[in-house]
Amino acid sequence: MFRTVITLLWGAGLAFGLAIVPTFQAHAQDSDAVTVQKLRNAALDDRFGYRFVETLTTTIGQRLAGTDAEARASMLAEKTLLDAGFVNVHRESFPITAWIRGRGEAEVTAPSSQRLVVAALGGSVATPPEGIETEIMVFPHYSQLLAAAPGSLDGKIAVVTEPMPRAMDGANYGAAIRIRRGGPSEAAKRGAIAYLHRSLGTDERRLAHVGATNYAEGVKRIPAAALSVPDAQQLARLAALGKVRIRLVLTPTSDEHAQAWTVSGELRGGERPDEIVLIGAHLDSWDLGTGAIDDGAGVAIVLGAGNLIAQLKVRPKRTLRVVLFGAEEMDYSGPAYAKMHADDIPRIVLASEADFGARRVYTFLAPASAANTHFLQTLADALNPLGIFPTRQPAISGGDDIAPLHAAGVPVFSLRQNGLDYFDIHHTADDTFDKIDPQELAQATAAWVTTVYLSLQTDLDFRKPAAGSKN
Amino acid sequence: MFRTVITLLWGAGLAFGLAIVPTFQAHAQDSDAVTVQKLRNAALDDRFGYRFVETLTTTIGQRLAGTDAEARASMLAEKTLLDAGFVNVHRESFPITAWIRGRGEAEVTAPSSQRLVVAALGGSVATPPEGIETEIMVFPHYSQLLAAAPGSLDGKIAVVTEPMPRAMDGANYGAAIRIRRGGPSEAAKRGAIAYLHRSLGTDERRLAHVGATNYAEGVKRIPAAALSVPDAQQLARLAALGKVRIRLVLTPTSDEHAQAWTVSGELRGGERPDEIVLIGAHLDSWDLGTGAIDDGAGVAIVLGAGNLIAQLKVRPKRTLRVVLFGAEEMDYSGPAYAKMHADDIPRIVLASEADFGARRVYTFLAPASAANTHFLQTLADALNPLGIFPTRQPAISGGDDIAPLHAAGVPVFSLRQNGLDYFDIHHTADDTFDKIDPQELAQATAAWVTTVYLSLQTDLDFRKPAAGSKN
């Protein structure tokens, strides 16, 4: 059955011009400096990744982990890696609990009838089929919910309306995420029967931002959903005038015996094949949009970079491994990969995941071991023409799917993309192909191919503490 | 029943600070130039209209013509006019066919399953309850639909994906509106069983822009809906790859025996009370948002301007009439008003409707009769400090509800607001209170109060051709 689908998809890919043609010439005698310049410039003109994400989002659309769509995406990626010349290409499945949204509806029932835009959080339990209809209690700050006494929310819906400020590096998301991940159980501890929060978004659109939540052990699991930003503001205004009642209907379902797929492929190193530079992105997406910026763009970047390196006449010294994770959004694929590839971990010398949209890269963070090295100076010089300058702190995160590898000792790097508008779109229905600017995506791909190529060529052992480093 | 509701609403209004307090001092002996300067400056600091639209959109929300919500809005407006000191305040009903949305769902069923964001056009008939599932035919330009042969769309859904460009004065809406108003019948003439078009929007959001459609006499009425811009783009990409099938479900209903309400009030002129300057806006809205920019903002502007003039110690020479129309979106209130007030029309010396959002005014257009007059120079000088400069053509439109009056001989003026982002939000769920910048709204109100006051004071007969005018 899948074979037919894939044939169709690949036909689509060809129609969009995904066919692989050499876009630049590199010669065997080129120095690293010459090769990296050619790669960088080729990436700026290349549309390989952009065409891939167009095909992915157009012919498959949303790719919620554990669904047929996610499986089809993994097959499309597998074929793309094979056709680009990767070896050791394979899809590997791992068990997950798939979560399917169902209906998500809410309305103010008093003082007057008004429709609200909501979307269930990933992992949320359902309301009764007829919904919950009760009074709300609004908390302008999450800390006020935490300060509420046990029992003070008995029978009510807790509503947290705290906003998340805009930031170039998205740092406020890290600070705000407990509102989504921890809120339902904190509200339940205090007696709430459901939980709503203002979307972790920087926009003013009537679209809810979803994302995974986590129920605490031993606490009653209550239905939880995100409100669009304007709807959260509306509830805050209404609650300031008196009692407000809401009806909430969420009908998600779960399948504890689903599976997701991670796809990987390698370009074997010409000199030190057992030293692996791993670059990744995730193929799964949320279900409301088509996962273009999260994380179709990341897939496009690593496939685009990988494809350019695959076209080199001389294989780089180290092995490049591209890994396309299958269940990042619900936190499954990173741990599953680290567990299934525990034996590999000592051979992975550097890793990073592209998972922050489709905009241009503006800075990079290297592992602490690279401080004050010739490698880092060479990399900085090579990224400079792209308008990218180093941040003088070591990289402490390589992305969610890389975290378990990092915890097991794998050094990471980070190429930070401009995220000023990332959280306008992130995890909403608005995450669609039209949001990707091909030139910005090409710049990001150029940054990745530059960083990856120099990392494949260097003799530097990223696991060793830097000699003479002040870090 | 309504009395209780209104008490509640008014309580809400007070809570938001809608209480009327004098915000400036004007003296009996002031010249027009001094008074208009005081009015203009007072308007810039005033938040009367802003608070009104906050109350309107928060406590009532959407106000689809013919619904209880629209009736409640008319009562809130009536009370606001009375409390501001207006006389001859009354609500008048008129018959309309109310149209209620129901469900609007669409999905691609082949080549792969994908949800589409659609919303039925106002006035659309319903699909069968189970929906329509058939192949689509995509037309990148509306002219291509018009060029299609009869029978060429038999059994298909016609999809027009023509975009509407952004423009400061919104001029492209006028050119594109036939896609929405005329498309369903043009498609039906050629055999189509349903019609979809790319929203008349300048945004890239997954929100459909609705609006009224018009079925041609003698042509089969087919269900019609707007696609969000990204969904229209997605269908265009998919259709380029092969056959696409869609399932469409629309369940609107109509009530041919509904009524809507228009509210008006006057400040009687001190010298020539039988000469009326009429300013209007519309209280009804589409149902997906809360009608903040369309047209809560317009209501805020004319109520804000009217309230400032009501506070003057000396009544202006002519009569000011504020009219808040009750069914603009479905084209009922303008014709109904002109019909019910046919006897008044000779006494209306000038009219205009504020119905283009909440942004600042950048230019004004006066009636042809004002060309080369002292009045127009005085007005230009008074608007200049607001950054508003005249357009050297006569006003040819005073707004949709004013058009029937204009056709019957009433001169009109136009204060053009910056509409660069108006069609990002227009007729979508995103039309909510948070989109209004109070300072821009205050500037627009200042422009209106300036224009209205000088029009109330001038001796100029706007109905007479200008002496020595080159127009």
pLDDT digits (tens, 9 = 90+) for B275-328: 999 999 999 999 999 999 999 999 999 999 999 999 999 999 999 999 999 999
The predicted-structure confidence for B39-50, as pLDDT tens digits, reads as follows 999 999 999 999
Q: What is residue A23's predicted lDDT score, i.e. its pLDDT?
A: 56
pLDDT in tens, A186-237: 999 999 999 999 999 999 999 999 999 999 999 999 999 999 999 999 999 9
- A114 to chain B: which residues are within 8 Å by CB? 61-62, 290
Q: Would you say B65 and B260 are in contact if contact means Cβ atoms under 8 Å apart?
A: yes
Note whether B241 contacts A11, CB cutoff 8 Å: yes
Q: Per the CB < 8 Å rule, is A204 touching B434? A: yes
Residues of chain A with C-beta less than 8 angstroms from the C-beta of B59? 111-112, 238, 241
Note the pTM of the prediction, 2 decimals: 0.91
**Closest Cβ opposite residue A59 in set B61, B111, B430:** B111
The SS3 call for residue B387 is coil
Q: Which pair of structure tokens corresponds to residue B105?
A: 């769902």
B11 touches chain A (CB under 8 A): yes
Strands B118-120 and A348-353: unpaired
Q: Which amino acid is at A293?
A: I
- Interface contact B12-A428, CB threshold 8 A: no
The answer to whether B279 touches B321, Cβ cutoff 8 Å, is: yes
Q: Which of B113, B204, B205 to substitute to test the interface with A, most A CBs within 10 Å?
A: B205
- As for the ipTM of the complex, it is 0.89
Q: Are B232 and B199 in contact (CB under 8 A)?
A: yes
Residues 6 or more apart from A351 whose CB is under 8 A from it? Answer: A277, A278, A279, A280, A398, A402, A405, A406, A410, A411, A412
User: Which residues of chain B make contact with A430, given a CB cutoff of 8 A?
Assistant: 204-206, 230
Contacts of B397 (CB under 8 A, 6+ apart): B403, B406, B412, B414
B207 and A206 in contact by Cβ < 8 A? Answer: yes
Name the residue among B458, B139, B154, B438 with its Cα closest to residue B277: B458
Question: Which residues of chain B does A433 touch, with a Cβ-Cβ cutoff of 8 Å?
Answer: 230, 233-234, 237
Q: Does B63 touch chain A (CB under 8 A)?
A: no
Is A378 part of the contact surface with chain B (CB cutoff 8 Å)?
A: no
Inspect the interface and report whether the beta carbons of A205 and B290 lie closer than 8 Å.
no
Cα separation values, B217 from B180, B184, B186, B276, Å: 16, 12, 12, 38
DSSP state of B104: E
Residue B4 has pLDDT above 90, yes or no: no
Euclidean distance between CA atoms A145 and A152, whole angstroms: 10
Positive or negative, the CA dihedral A10, A11, A14, A20 is positive
Instruction: Tell me how far apart the alpha carbons of residues A212 and A378 are, in angstroms, rounded to a whole number.
Output: 40
When the pLDDT of each residue in chain B is averaged and rounded to a whole number, the result is 94
Residue tagged 């001859």 (tokens): B88
Q: How far is B159 from chain A (nearest CA, A)?
A: 17
Q: Which residues of B touch A207 (CB under 8 A)?
A: 205-207
Decide: A181 and A212 in contact? Cβ < 8 Å: yes
Query: Is the pLDDT score of B122 beyond 90?
Result: yes
Cross-strand bridge partners of residue A175: none
Distance CA(A382)–CA(A126), nearest Å, equals 52
Instruction: Tell me the per-residue pLDDT of B382-402, one tens digit each, with 9 for 90 and over.
Output: 999 999 999 989 999 999 999
Phi-psi label, residue A175: left if phi above 0, alpha if psi -120 to 50, beta otherwise: alpha
b/e burial code for range B148-162 (CB count within 10 A of at least 16 → b): beeeebeebbbbbbb
Q: Residue B209: what pLDDT?
A: 98
Question: Searching chain A, which residue's CA lies closest to the CA of residue B12?
Answer: A241
Lowest mean pLDDT among A320-324, A343-347, B18-22, B456-460: B18-22
Q: How far is A434 from chain B (nearest CA, A)?
A: 7
Cross-strand bridge partners of residue B276: B319, B348
**CA distance to partner chain A, nearest, from residue B215 (Å):** 29
Q: Which of B199, B231, B241, B285 best tests the A interface by mutation, with the highest count of A CBs <10 A? A: B241
pLDDT band at A27 (very low <50, low <70, confident <90, very high): confident
H-state helical runs in B190-296: 229-241
Query: How many Cβ pairs within 8 Å bridge chains A and B?
Result: 102
Q: Considering only residues 187 to 206 of chain A, which have any Cβ-Cβ distance to chain B shorter than 8 Å? A: 204-206
**Residue A420: count of CB within 10 angstroms of its CB:** 15
Q: Is A3's pLDDT higher than 90?
A: no
A50 dihedral zone (left: phi>0; alpha: psi -120 to 50; beta): alpha
Distance CA A466, CA B266 (A): 81
Residue A24: band (very low, low, confident or very high) from pLDDT cuts 50, 70, 90: confident
Only one residue has tokens 């089929």, namely A129
Please state, in angstroms and rounded to a whole number, the distance separating the CA atoms of residues A340 and A337. Answer: 5
Whether B15 and A240 lie within 8 Å, measured CB to CB: yes
d(CA A57, CA A94) in angstroms, rounded, equals: 23
Q: Which of A61, A111, A429 sits opposite B112 (nearest CB)?
A: A61
The single-letter code of the amino acid at A205 is R
Instruction: Give contacts of A69 with chain B, Cβ < 8 Å.
Output: 112
